[in-house]
Amino acid sequence: MDEVVDEIRTGWARVRPELPTRSVGAVSLIWRLARMLHAERARVLAGLDIDQATLEVLANLRRNSGEEPMSPGDLAAACGVTPGAISLRLRRAEQSGWVTRTSDPADARGVLVSLTKSGRGAAERFAQIVLEHDEALVAAMSDGDLARLERLLERLEGSIHEATRDASPG
């Protein structure tokens, strides 16, 4: 295991030996990897003059065939954000000329969001660059390694959901 993890475990064992440190290695590594992945994605996107939030809007619309409009609520759910957050994202994408908002013919108060021709091209171009870059980041791993890692991370995610569902600190 890594020196930092060993130092953390040893330090806590010295001052508070009853504390559980089994998770330190995995959680520390995941935090470190998350920071690295976040910084690397931000670097790539900065070169494309787009942010992650706007990319998620374009990608969700494009994966929805790029032809079918989506409601802001459906986009918010797909992006895992609040309706307020999706409004900000849509404003940025609209200002860039990548999306349009139109009235929903089935709901007088509703709005539908669609990719513009420029937005469709941007979504495809950005997706290709980002996905090829992400592929390069995991190039040292086999398909089997990636599948196992994905299954383990899904189990961890489920464990976190279960542990935090009704938990409160204290």
- Residue 82: partners with Cβ closer than 8 Å, 6 or more residues away: 76
Q: What is the pLDDT of residues 43-102, one digit of tens each?
A: 999 999 999 999 999 999 999 866 789 999 999 999 999 999 999 999 999 999 999 999
Residue 107's φ and ψ, nearest 5 degrees, are: -150, 110
For residue 165, pLDDT beyond 90: no
The SS3 of residue 154 is helix
Q: Domain boundaries in the chain?
A: 25-139
- Alpha helix stretches (DSSP H) within the chain: 3-15, 24-48, 52-63, 72-79, 83-95, 117-137, 143-165
Segment 27-54 mean pLDDT: 94
Measured CA to CA, the distance from residue 97 to residue 117 in angstroms comes to 9
Q: What is the pLDDT of residues 106-119, one digit of tens each?
A: 888 899 999 999 99
pLDDT of residue 135: 97
Does domain 25-139 match CATH 3.40.630.30? no
